[in-house]
């Protein structure tokens, strides 16, 4: 997984969402979870998992907290 932040003072929303999604997908796969398993653990609708991992949807803090808890990682590990 490779995320490039060009300017530490400025974050690009689109790139940030892609980076977060890539990180979530990598962590899910490390844990050998299917998207369906992850959906059940995180209480996020299965239809949203692919969009979330693809960086195609805005994430709320609540969603990030559910994701971090389901993957058993600190919230800061998901944020570039």
CA–CA distances in Å: residue 6 to residues 23, 31, 37, 58, 67: 18, 30, 34, 21, 26
User: Which residues span the domain enclosing 22?
Assistant: 13-78
Residue 4 pLDDT grade (very low, low, confident, very high; cuts 50, 70, 90) = low
Residue 67 has pLDDT above 90, yes or no: yes
Residue 14 pLDDT grade (very low, low, confident, very high; cuts 50, 70, 90) = confident
pTM exceeding 0.75: yes
The whole-number pLDDT of residue 5 equals 57
Domain assignment present for residue 57? The answer is yes
Overall number of domains in the chain: 1
Q: Measuring CA to CA, which residue among 18, 22, 46 is closest to residue 34?
A: 46
Domain assignment present for residue 8? The answer is no
The whole-number pLDDT of residue 2 equals 57
Domain assignment present for residue 65? The answer is yes
């Amino acid at each position: 997984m490779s995320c490039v932040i060009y300017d530490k003072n400025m974050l690009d929303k689109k790139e940030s969402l892609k980076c977060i999604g890539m990180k979530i997908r990598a962590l899910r796969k490390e844990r050998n979870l299917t998207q369906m398993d992850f959906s059940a653990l995180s209480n996020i609708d299965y239809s949203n998992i692919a969009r979330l991992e693809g960086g195609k949807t805005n994430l709320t803090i609540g969603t990030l907290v559910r994701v971090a808890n389901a993957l058993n990682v600190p919230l800061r590990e998901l944020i570039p």
